[in-house]
Structure 1
Amino acid sequence: MPPLPVAVSREHNTVTLHPSGEIDHETAPALTGAVREAEGELRGLVVDLSEVSFMDSAGLHALIALEHHCRERGARLDLAGARDQPARLLDLVRLAGIFTLAG
């Protein structure tokens, strides 16, 4: 399976990750790796899931790791654009209440 494409954008001290495709055990490390490359004065992190078609437990683990990473730095993690299967998965495992979900 090809690696997960993750576009990174920055506005002020907020980094937005834009993964595209499926987040699973093979591709999840690309998501957590992208934030390390984009750090600096990180005050907020947004993971835009609008282009993610599938996510499994490895994807959930990556999101939790990102949340811990942000918390350690006093930053905030928001999820945006979750729909279809990823949105149902977040709701099913009750992680929707842990993350701030937008759009």
Structure 2
Amino acid sequence: MNITTAISGTSARITPRGEIDHDTLPSLRAAADALPARVTEVTWNLRHTPFMDVAGLHLFFSPAALDGADRRTTVTGLRQQPLRLLLLAADVHPDTFDVTRLLLAAG
């Protein structure tokens, strides 16, 4: 997994290249945890992520991911399979997986 992080003022864009799974989750969390405190908006660019398993749900919806209430998190560039996973999770458990929070500004 190759992860690129770009910071511009209070915004950051994290771009992973490769699959999001149990093995890559620690690196992805480390990239988010390494962001400076001034970052209030994080965009995950998943254009180069062809596959995401339940680890992606943990990345975006775990209590640790939601604790950063001062940070708005969105995703962009969703490919077919990761999008299907997010929509399925939202369909099965809409209160737990509020994808509108992630997709609102993804465009």
| TM category, shorter | 0.7 to 0.9
Unaligned stretches of 5+ residues in structure 2: 91-96
User: Given the superposition, is the C-alpha separation of residues 80 and 25 from structure 1 closer, same or farther in structure 2, using an over 3 Å criterion?
Assistant: same
In the other structure, the counterpart of 1:70 is 68
1:38 is aligned, of 32, 35, 38, to 35
In the other structure, the counterpart of 2:93 is none
**Partners in 1 of 2:33 and 2:25 — Cα distance?**
14
TM-score by length of 2: 0.81
Aligned length: 98
TM-score by length of 1: 0.84
Unaligned stretches of 5+ residues in structure 1: none
Q: Is the 8 A contact 1:29 1:62 kept in 2?
A: no
How much is the aligned-residue C-alpha RMSD, in angstroms? 1.6
Give CA-to-partner distance per residue, 1:60-102, whole Å, 9 cap, x none: 101224641431xx12111111111101111111142342351
In the other structure, the counterpart of 1:90 is 86
**Percent of pairs with identical residues:** 31
Instruction: Summarize the alignment of residues 9-20 of structure 1 with structure 2, pairs less than 5 Å apart.
Output: 9-20=6-17
Runs of 4+ in 1 over 6 A off after TM superposition: none
User: Given the superposition, is the C-alpha separation of residues 67 and 100 from structure 1 closer, same or farther in structure 2, using an over 3 Å criterion?
Assistant: farther
Q: Which has the higher strand share?
A: 1
1:59 aligns with 2:45: no
In the other structure, the counterpart of 1:8 is 5
Superposed displacement of residue 39, structure 1: 2.0
**Partners in 2 of 1:82 and 1:70 — Cα distance?**
22
